[in-house]
Structure 1
Amino acid sequence: MTESDKNTAVISYLNLDNNGTISSSFPLRVISTCNMDLYKFPFDTQTCTLTFRSYLYSVNELIMLALSDSYNVLRHSQEVFASKGDWNLLNITVQNGTYGFLNNKYTVVIYKVTIKRTPVIYIINLIIPACFLVILDICSMFIQRYEERLVFKINVILGFSVLLLILNNMLPASGSQPMLGIFCCVCMAMMVLSIIGTIFSSYVLDHSVNPQHVPPWLKTLVLKYMARVLCFRKAPSQKKMTRNGTLTKEPKTKATGDVQRMKDLQEKDNLEVKLLKKLLLEILKIHKRLNLSKTEVAKLEWFQVAQVIDRLVLILYLLTVTAVFIVLIYAWGQ
């Protein structure tokens, strides 16, 4: 689109050179649009094309040529280029050519303008706060009291929602989705998932008030398989203080009758001591089982289930955010 600048008076003078060239100049505003690729936002580089051609006259009647080459156009454009600090002019190329339409050829002049976005303002106002909120949400998984953790997570997700609104206002209308927006959406989804996991863990822990044990299917799934995969350590159990095995007798050697009887008595005493130790260990185990009431065992099982669920949500959170962050850095680095 082209329109005259209404703020400037129209110049009604002609310039006449000594070689017979007559030029008439007047200010003109050119409005152009170009498709923007926002995949690498805010580290994106855009290339816009300005095409000037005749609408009526073919090459037999009118030939259009660029007044300056690419170097002079770029140098002059860098001197007069003005922006709000969010774009940098990288390059301008000038091309002269022709195109055919309805058995006629027309001349065309094409200017390709390459500009690069300045990402500092987006890094300070958007990317760094988003990373801080994600780190805070991950650290909140170590809060032991689920009520306090839930309140903290809701506050974090509200702050992250404000950043998403800021990102939506910064992005221009485009058909491509930037990687930064995908990263923020994934982080928001993981925050919601962590809140759901916290609610579920709190719901599981509330069952510890009842003396009922964990259902067998849940105990097998969570405490046996999931705990093993997540490298979760259960409550410490007594280590075996004895080793299974058979008692072997030392080979007899040639000795006197008294020495042999002393060895036999000593061996018999060792067997009795070992037997007493085994009986003592069994008595201690029975005593421990009697001390642990049914309610305490049930509470311990429900508490372990809640811890395993927390561990699962935390690992999924870390793996997902790390994978998306690596993809984001790889996309920006290309």
Structure 2
Amino acid sequence: MLRILVLLYLGCEVTQCQKTCGYYNVTDALGVLEGSPRLIYLRPVKDWREPTYVTLDMTFRSVLDMDEKLQTLSSLMDIEMMWENQLLSWNPEEFCGISRVSIPESTVWIPDIYISETIEDNSLDVLFVHLYNNGTMQQTKTLNILTTCSLDLYKFPFDAQKCNLTFGLSTNPVNDVILASGFNADNITFLSKAAFTTGEWSLQNVQVFPRNVSKNGETWSKMIYQISIKRAPMMYVINLIIPACLLVLVDVASMFIPMEGGERLGFKVTVVLGFSVLLLILNDFLPNTDIPPILGVFCMVCLVIMIVSIIDSIFIAYMLHLSAVRPEVPHWLKLWVLKRLAFVLRIPTKERQLGSNILGAENTVVTEKAATLRELESSSSKQVTKEFKASIEIKLLKKLLRELLMVRQHLIVTKQEEEDKSEWHMVAFVLDRFILILYLITVALIAVIVVVVWAA
């Protein structure tokens, strides 16, 4: 009989333990699943003067997209919140050692945390939160959000950006809820780098700044996470910077194309069109800001120099045309270009004064010979009238001498015209080399400035 009573007692104890070993028993004992407004809508404290401390930790996982035009950042991150619910706790020994249960998020009070910079939220809803036996609650969720970010693109594409994520509460001031970080900045940076997916951007560090902000006569607790990321510039170097430098190099080399003909002008126009396409591509990446990127300034200066070189080619073609229409070079152009500018550029030029004297002397000789020939003709004609007869040889010699003098005079005039044309060519050459030197100095100077800015 005693044995039967013992067995019945043990059976009842086993049955009672089995009844209290499920998660339902814990939630039923706490009354969580009843949907009590006391648990859902009210801050879970026994004394309303005691604030609730919410520990907020963030792990930055990836940069999904960066829109430089709109200055927005699409990112992926994990956040973990922990706080104490003083109304929900139990003894694990009474429930077979159960120390944690998962309960629906809609059945308990959750801190109403938001991110100030959020434009669009594509995150998945979290359905459950973890409840520990000491009343600690834990919520972990993954955020896929689009936020605003003030971008500094002056060093594009070798730029580094800092974007802020400001976590705050919408209904509970600092007297009710205080935000705090469970980890320091070094731990958050280490965890974020371990989980970060490297693409166009690489994660540098994550800084944490707790702040209290006054608004409408009340103080609100804030947590600011500053994300420092750096761009991987290789794609832009290959697709943008190297083609721009090659086009500038080709345009410089086109200055050595002979000035005669229109090959140089057509080639330069083609290069400018190609460079304009690169500027359009660059414009698609950059926003409209008061401080343009140094790369845009470099490309714009190169485009201006290319346009100046095209104008120079047009002006040189016009001067070569003037050499045929107006052989004589104006005196002021000789003075400023052939003497002063050529001296500065160390370009040797021919002195025209000595050649002009020689031509003048030759013209004088030709004139004197022509006069002598006329005198000979007149004297010989008198002699013929006196003698009534002249030999055929003398007439042939006189005719031959007349033709030789005409040929000589024609050669002298032709030589003078060629020298005038050569002066126009020399003027064009000096101006062309001046533009080339100016081109090289400007491009080298702006290139050095760009490299120094990128390296700083």
Q: Give the TM-score range, shorter chain.
A: 0.7 to 0.9
SS at match of 2:262: helix
Q: Compare CA radii of gyration and give the structure with the larger one.
A: 2
Asked if the contact 1:211–1:299 (Cα under 8 Å) also holds between the matched residues in 2, the reply is: no
Report whether the alignment pairs 1:126 with 2:248: no
Deviates more, 1:200-209 or 1:14-23: 14-23
Contact 1:214/1:301, CA 8 A, preserved across alignment? yes
144, 152, 174: which one aligns with 1:29: 144
SS in 2 for 1:213: coil
* Equivalent in 60, 67, 89 of residue 175 of structure 2: 60
Give the TM-score taking structure 2 as reference length: 0.58
What corresponds to 2:190 in structure 1?
75
Q: How far, CA to CA, are the matches of 2:239 and 2:160 in structure 1? A: 20
Deviations 1:299-330 (A, max 9, x none): 01111111111011111111111111111111
SS in 2 for 1:198: helix
Q: Number of residues paired by the alignment?
A: 289
| 1:112 and 2:234 matched | no
* Cα distance, 1:211–1:26 mapped onto 2, change above 3 Å: closer
Structure 1 contact 38–174 (Cα < 8 Å) conserved: no
In structure 1, the partner of 2:422 is 300
1:215-246, Cα deviation, whole Å (9 max, x unpaired) = 1222222212222222221137899xxxxxxx
Match of 1:165 in 2: 280
TM-score, normalised with respect to structure 1? 0.78
Percentage of identical aligned residues: 42
Whether the 8 Å contact between 1:214 and 1:302 is mirrored in structure 2 is yes
What per-residue deviation string (whole Å, max 9, x for no partner) do you get for residues 84-136 of structure 1? x2111001011223233344322111111100111111111111111111111
Of 252, 266, 273, the residue aligned with 1:138 is 252
Quote the residue 1:274 is aligned against: none
Provide closer, same or farther for how the CA distance between residues 318 and 176 of structure 1 changes in structure 2, counting only shifts above 3 A. Answer: same
**2:250 aligned counterpart, secondary structure:** helix
Kindly state the Cα deviation for residue 153 of structure 1 after the two structures are TM-superposed.
Answer: 0.9
Aligned to 1:91: 205
SS at match of 1:32: strand
Whether the aligned pair in 1 keeps the contact of 2:121 and 2:146 (CA below 8 Å) is no
What are structure 2's unaligned runs of at least 5 residues? Answer: 1-117, 365-408
What are the within-5 Å matches in structure 2 for residues 1-334 of structure 1? 1=118, 5=122, 8=124, 10-82=125-197, 85-144=199-258, 145-172=260-287, 174-210=289-325, 212-235=327-350, 291=412, 293-334=415-456
Partner SS for 1:82: coil
CA contact (8 A) 1:88 1:115 kept: yes
Shift of 1:137: 0.5
CA contact (8 A) 1:211 1:294 kept: no
Cα deviation, residue 56, structure 1: 3.3
Partner SS, residue 153 of structure 2: coil
Using CA pairs under 8 Å that are at least 6 residues apart, name the structure with larger relative contact order, 1 or 2: 1
Gaps of 5+ in 1: 240-281
Query: Which residue identity does 1:312 align to in structure 2?
Result: F
2:72 alignment partner in structure 1? none
CA distance in 1, matches of 2:358, 2:442: 50
**Contact 1:183 1:325 (C-alpha < 8 Å) held by counterparts:** yes
Residue 176 (structure 1) shift: 2.8
In structure 2, distance between residues paired with 1:100 and 1:319: 56
161-170 vs 129-138, which deviates more? 161-170
